[in-house]
Amino acid sequence: MKKEKRTPKNSSNGVTRRGFIAGVGTAAVGSAVLPAVSKAEVLRARRPVGLEDITLTVNGTPYQLSVEPRWTLAEVLRDHLALTGTKVGCNAGECGACTVILEGKAVYSCSQLAVWLNGKKVTTVEGLAPGGELDPLQKAFMEHDAPQCGFCTSGQLMSAKSLLARNPNPTREEVQHALTGNLCRCSNYNRIVESVLAASQKR
């Protein structure tokens, strides 16, 4: 009479204890020969899809940033670099509150995508007073009571700074033309123009 083969009591779903241990050992050996993954590769794998790496120099300091293609320069400055002197008013390229100097030219930072600016240099209102020493233009604004509510002031300063950099002795009409794109909700335009003219004379 033939004896029936009996499955060992410690088996489950057809897998014996000996087979399980052998399988685990094979997996351990296999994982040991896998190529090492660098920390940078792990970080890239964890990074949200769609970010792009850029280098941006702001007020003389270089930054390595990972930005979404939809982020504006204003968002990067305020939300990621904590440079909140740049204000966002209309967020549509009309009021000028967000004006900064990009490669020597006054631009609306709300209308510039950060991904366009790889390798570029930007100056914000914080960059006018390195070490806490106010720029002559800022001093002139204070002396002539140019700021009222102050919301547009940083944008006005950056447009004026860009003008004076390329034209140290502008006429009143040239100052007015340079500030055309900066709106003042307090309508303090005359004092702003006087401030810029006074700063140019000091230069």
**∠ CA 12-32-40 to the nearest 5 degrees?**
120
Q: What confidence score (pLDDT) does residue 131 get?
A: 87
Question: Does 145 map to a domain?
Answer: yes
Q: Identify the DSSP state of 48.
A: P
Question: Does 1 map to a domain?
Answer: no
User: What is the three-class DSSP state of 65?
Assistant: strand
Question: Does 48 map to a domain?
Answer: yes
Tell how strand 105-108 and strand 99-102 pair up.
antiparallel
Question: Does 14 map to a domain?
Answer: no
Question: Does 28 map to a domain?
Answer: no
Q: What is the CA radius of gyration of the chain?
A: 31
Question: Does 34 map to a domain?
Answer: no
Backbone angles phi, psi at 101, to 5 degrees: -105, 120
Question: Does 178 map to a domain?
Answer: yes
| Distance separating alpha carbons of residues 117 and 111, to the nearest angstrom | 12
49 pLDDT more than 90: no
Count of domains for the chain: 1
Residue 188 belongs to what domain range? Answer: 44-202
Tokens of 55: 């280098």
Encode pLDDT of 58-69 as tens digits.
999 999 999 999
Encode pLDDT of 50-59 as tens digits.
899 999 999 9
CATH number where 142 lies? 3.10.20.30
Say if pTM beats, i.e. exceeds, 0.85.
Answer: no
